[in-house]
Amino acid sequence: MRAVIIAVGVAFLISLLGTPIAIKVFTRLKAGQPIRAEGPAMHQGKKGTPTMGGVVFILATVIAYVAGHLALTTLPDAQIAQVEPTITALVLLGLMVFSGAVGFIDDFLKVRKRHSGGLNKRGKLFGQILVGAIFGVVALYFPSTMTDASGAATNTETVGATTLSFIRDIPALEIGKIASVIVIIFVVMAATNGVNLTDGLDGLATGASVMVLAAYALIAFWQYRHWCADPTYTANPNNYCYAVRDPLEIALIAGAAAGACVGFLWWNTSPARIFMGDTGALGLGGLIAGMAMSTRTILLLPIIGGLFVIITMSVVIQIISFRTTGKRVFRMSPLQHHFELAGWSEVNIVVRFWIIAGIGVAIALGLFYSDFLASMG
């Protein structure tokens, strides 16, 4: 727990203190956010606000991981802690960094062209598929092995699973490695686009991501305390354990990312002095997808990220309705813009949507814990 707290604190401070520096740098480089002409009229006042702020909390997360990881070497139960970098960290941070890199290219092209159209849809889609495929293969084809104090292997789990999972792996839904990689690609695409679509109002996506990442930190730490690789816990055959890979690493990274987002939110809340851009939105989406995969809660993700699902579905419904009937269901999509045009203030929308995000997280955590109680009999 100490390592996780250290990672959260370091990430928060780096993001909180580093974001003003990024604001100055991006302002000097004239890296301002272009605003879509077809968007809400009130957004035109945000034109020129520095973008690509996701660079700050992505870097803060990576640095905080290193700081928190160093603390693991001093833990009294180091024989069951990950005291060396693991494939799990490679996959999770890789998904965050490289998904963020796809977004960075998009942001860079927008700034360079001084137009809201950056990387074309095919280019962005190809980037998401490529990142999901690479780290999906690593997660499924490269088991990470750790040893206990005697040098014996204690866990050879892969980061991902070849079965679909809800709160844990569902053995009856064994789909094999190739299909599992395809599922991971889909989850990465869904999560990155979901966060990206939610990132339309000051602080909305950042605050919602804090809740989701904090929830995954709790889930992963709970799995660590009830881990099948912990001989002190599994000594009692009646104890239910989680067969996951490196849960403490997962908790550390999730906590670090949540802390970094809180520090960024200080500057990103209304009126935002900097936007996360596609760099941050795709980076967070990639990490959230990795969290669902590594904690074996892929089918729980639509609940824990319920706000992202609702906003994404508003876009899907709008497109289907307009193409089939020529009519729009919402004044504008994504959903937050519908309420803007209905007269709601930006802060009002953001706070209420945060409440919706919190409800989804609370339901998901409740389901997770109730399953544990049921498993314990």
* Residue ranges of the binding site for Mg(2+): 196, 278
Q: Which residues of 182-193 are buried (b: 16+ CB within 10 A; e: fewer)?
A: bbbbbbbbbbbb
Which three-class secondary structure state does DSSP give residue 155?
strand
Phi and psi at residue 21, to the nearest 5°: -65, -45
List the one residue out of 178, 188, 195, 194 whose CA is nearest residue 129. 188
List the one residue out of 230, 222, 208 whose CA is nearest residue 250. 222
Binding positions are 196, 278
| Cα torsion through 312, 315, 317, 323, rounded to 10 | -150
H or E element in which residue 172 lies: strand 169-174
Q: Name the residue with tokens 């003003």.
A: 20
Beta strands 163-165 and 146-147: pairing type? Answer: unpaired
Phi and psi at residue 159, to the nearest 5°: -65, -45
Q: What contacts 159, CB < 8 A, 6 or more positions away?
A: 87, 88, 91, 138, 139, 140, 144, 245, 246, 293, 294
